[in-house]
Homo-oligomer: A and B are copies of this chain.
Amino acid sequence: MIYERVALIGLGLIASSMAHALRRDRLAGEIVGYARTAETRETAREIGLCDRVTDTAREAVEGADLVVLAVPVGAMGPLAEEIGPALRPGATLTDVGSVKRAVIEAVTPHVPQGVHFIPAHPLAGTEYSGPRSGFATLFDNRWCILVPNGADRQAVERLAQLWRGMGANVDEMDADHHDLVLAVVSHTPHLIAYTMVGVADHLERVSHGEVIKYSASGFRDFTRIAASDPTMWRDVFLTNRDATLDILGRFTEELFVLQRAIRMGDGAHLHAYFTQTRAIRRGIVEAGQDTAAPDFGRAPVTAPG
Nearest-CB residue, chain B, relative to A183: B206
Check if A252 sits within 8 Å of B252, measured CB to CB.
yes
Q: Could you tell me which residues of chain A, from 286 to 301, have a CB within 8 Å of some CB in chain B?
A: 286-291, 293-301
How many protomers of this protein does the assembly include? 2
Contacts A185-B217, A287-B304, A300-B140 given; does A275 touch B196 at CB 8 Å: no
Check if A141 sits within 8 Å of B289, measured CB to CB.
no
- Indicate with 1 or 0, residue by residue over A164-182, a CB within 8 angstroms of chain B CB atoms: 0000010100000000111
Does A153 touch B at the CB level, under 8 Å?
no
- Indicate with 1 or 0, residue by residue over A184-227, a CB within 8 angstroms of chain B CB atoms: 11111111111111111111011010111111111111111111
| Chain B residues within 8 Å of A150, by CB | none
| Chain B residues within 8 Å of A293, by CB | 299
Check if B184 sits within 8 Å of A234, measured CB to CB.
no
Question: What is the total number of residues of chain A having a CB less than 8 Å from a CB of chain B?
Answer: 117
Task: Tell which of B195, B234, B238, B301 touches A291, judged by Cβ atoms closer than 8 Å.
Answer: B301
Check if B284 sits within 8 Å of A254, measured CB to CB.
no
A-B residue pairs in contact (CB < 8 Å), sample of 17: A126-B294, A182-B214, A184-B206, A184-B211, A185-B200, A185-B219, A201-B277, A208-B283, A215-B289, A223-B281, A226-B277, A227-B277, A233-B270, A235-B267, A238-B262, A248-B259, A252-B252
